[in-house]
């Protein structure tokens, strides 16, 4: 691979290419036309290619020079943008947020445009995980975890109590005829979410329903997959109401039964100890808390039966 040319040669070439003039480039860079001409000659010798045609009045780019000028010009623009973004007065601040794939897709993702409009100077980098109980990546600033809140970080914020509810498509519920019962739903094509397989049994015990859950129709490792599956018309799933909210609001799914299961586990906002003092991290935390306040107000009573 050929060594990169000296940056001063490239700067002289970029300026001369933009102005089609060595004199104008010299004026822009605070040099003499002779110095610009010499730097261009050094660059052409280094590349073993002619970049300019010397004309009686001024210069013009050769075909090779034209192609090279586009790349070099863009490179200088990219460097200027990166320098301004990272170190300028209005630099972009980066916050790295991790959540489960269901939380990221169903709670955080739909609201990102609103956050960006309110905080255009903060770049939110959103990554996902299946289960997380520690900051295994020290580059992360914030975790949204599901559990009991018994982790070791200093700043752990409870985002509100939640409930699980059965959901399915309206036409699926109608296929049972009039007087659909929770017992019939539990005995139908149940899409189970791995880690929450006991929810139907707990719902039965809590409300004294005597449900007889048949063999699972499908097991999914995320609420998102379960919701997508039943939204296509087959089966019923028991899922956190906060995750089902947009499907319910859009009319894609319904709650065919009034029964709800308060969950002992819930979502927590966990801040990496090293990032606690950053203003941008605080702003993201406040925003996430506001999202969950709207999602969990109906579930404000601490659960007693989900163990």
Average pLDDT, the chain: 89
Predicted local distance difference test score (pLDDT) of residue 72: 94
CB atoms under 10 Å from CB of 248, counted, come to: 14
| Angle in degrees, CA 263, 264, 269, rounded to 5 | 95
pTM for this one? 0.67
Task: Using pLDDT thresholds of 50, 70 and 90, give the confidence band for residue 91.
Answer: low
**Residue 145 in 3-state DSSP?**
strand
Residue scoring higher pLDDT (229 or 82): 229
> Would you say residue 297 has pLDDT above 70?
no
Consecutive H or E run containing 267: strand 266-271
Task: Using pLDDT thresholds of 50, 70 and 90, give the confidence band for residue 83.
Answer: confident
| Angle in degrees, CA 59, 63, 64, rounded to 5 | 100
C-beta of residue 284 within 8 angstroms of C-beta of residue 97: yes
Domains of the chain: 7-87 (1.10.10.10), 93-161+265-299 (3.40.190.10), 163-262 (3.40.190.10)
Predicted local distance difference test score (pLDDT) of residue 270: 95
How confident is the model over 152-176, as pLDDT tens digits? 899 999 999 999 999 999 999 999 9
C-beta of residue 54 within 8 angstroms of C-beta of residue 48: no
Residue scoring higher pLDDT (273 or 305): 273
> Would you say residue 300 has pLDDT above 90?
no
C-beta of residue 255 within 8 angstroms of C-beta of residue 185: no
Cα–Cα distance, 40 to 180 (Å, whole number): 83
How confident is the model over 96-129, as pLDDT tens digits? 999 999 999 999 999 999 999 999 989 999 999 8
Label residue 147 left, alpha or beta by phi (over 0 means left) and psi (-120 to 50 means alpha).
Answer: left
Predicted local distance difference test score (pLDDT) of residue 298: 47
Label residue 211 left, alpha or beta by phi (over 0 means left) and psi (-120 to 50 means alpha).
Answer: beta
């Amino acid at each position: 691979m050929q060594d990169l040319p000296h940056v001063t040669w490239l700067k002289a070439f970029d300026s001369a290419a933009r102005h089609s003039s060595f004199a104008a480039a010299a004026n822009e860079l605070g040099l003499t036309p002779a110095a610009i001409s010499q730097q261009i000659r050094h660059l052409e010798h280094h590349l073993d290619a002619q970049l300019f045609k010397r004309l009686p009045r001024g210069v013009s780019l050769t075909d090779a020079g034209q192609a090279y000028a586009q790349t070099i010009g863009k490179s200088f623009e990219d460097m200027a943008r990166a320098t301004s973004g990272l170190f300028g007065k209005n630099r972009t601040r980066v916050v790295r947020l991790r959540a489960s794939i269901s939380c990221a897709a169903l709670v955080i993702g739909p609201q990102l445009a609103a956050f960006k409009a309110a905080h255009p100077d903060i770049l939110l980098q959103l990554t996902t995980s299946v289960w997380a109980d520690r900051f295994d990546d020290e580059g992360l600033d914030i975790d949204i975890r599901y559990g009991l809140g018994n982790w070791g970080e200093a700043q752990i914020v409870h985002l509100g109590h939640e409930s699980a509810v059965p959901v399915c498509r309206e036409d699926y519920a109608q296929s049972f005829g009039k007087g659909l019962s929770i017992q019939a739903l539990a005995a139908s094509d149940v899409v189970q979410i791995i880690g929450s397989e006991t929810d139907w049994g707990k719902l039965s015990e809590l409300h004294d329903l005597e449900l007889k859950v048949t063999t699972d129709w499908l097991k999914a490792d995320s609420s998102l997959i379960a919701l997508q599956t039943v939204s296509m018309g087959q089966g019923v799933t028991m899922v956190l109401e906060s995750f089902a909210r947009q499907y319910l609001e859009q009319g894609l799914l319904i709650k065919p039964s009034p029964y709800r299961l308060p969950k002992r586990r819930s979502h927590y906002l966990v801040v990496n100890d090293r990032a606690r003092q950053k203003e941008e991290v605080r702003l993201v935390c406040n925003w996430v808390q506001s999202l969950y306040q709207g999602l969990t107000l109906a579930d404000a009573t601490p659960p007693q039966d989900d163990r």
